[in-house]
Amino acid sequence: MAVKDVAVVSVPVSDEERAWTFYVDTLGLKLLRDDTSVPGMRWVQVPPAGGATQLTLVTWFDSMPAGRTAWA
């Protein structure tokens, strides 16, 4: 079975606000979701305009430190 698309990719960051500014203001991605309804977690989702993949900027995965990906 071949992978056809990827819906969400988590990007570990050290500062969600600074990352949000970079991805939205600098790269031009769109803010889709900024949710703080779960204590201690902020869900920031930024897809490129017209793109199928959404990036989720996260600080709350202990196993995914900022600057690394899950497979690195």
Q: What is the pLDDT along the chain (72 residues), one digit of tens a residue?
A: 787 888 888 888 888 889 999 999 999 999 999 998 888 788 899 998 888 888 888 886 666 667 666 554
Domain coverage including residue 16? 8-58
Report which residue type is found at 38. Answer: V
Is residue 63 a part of any domain in this protein?
no
Is residue 69 a part of any domain in this protein?
no
Query: What is the 8-class DSSP label of residue 52?
Result: S
Query: What is the 8-class DSSP label of residue 24?
Result: I
Is residue 3 a part of any domain in this protein?
no
And the tokens for 12?
A: 């570990």
Which pLDDT does position 72 carry in this prediction?
47
Is residue 71 a part of any domain in this protein?
no
Q: H or E stretch including 50?
A: none
Return the CATH number at 45.
3.10.180.10
Distance CA 44, CA 49 (A): 16
Is residue 65 a part of any domain in this protein?
no
Is residue 52 a part of any domain in this protein?
yes
Number of domains observed in the structure of the chain: 1
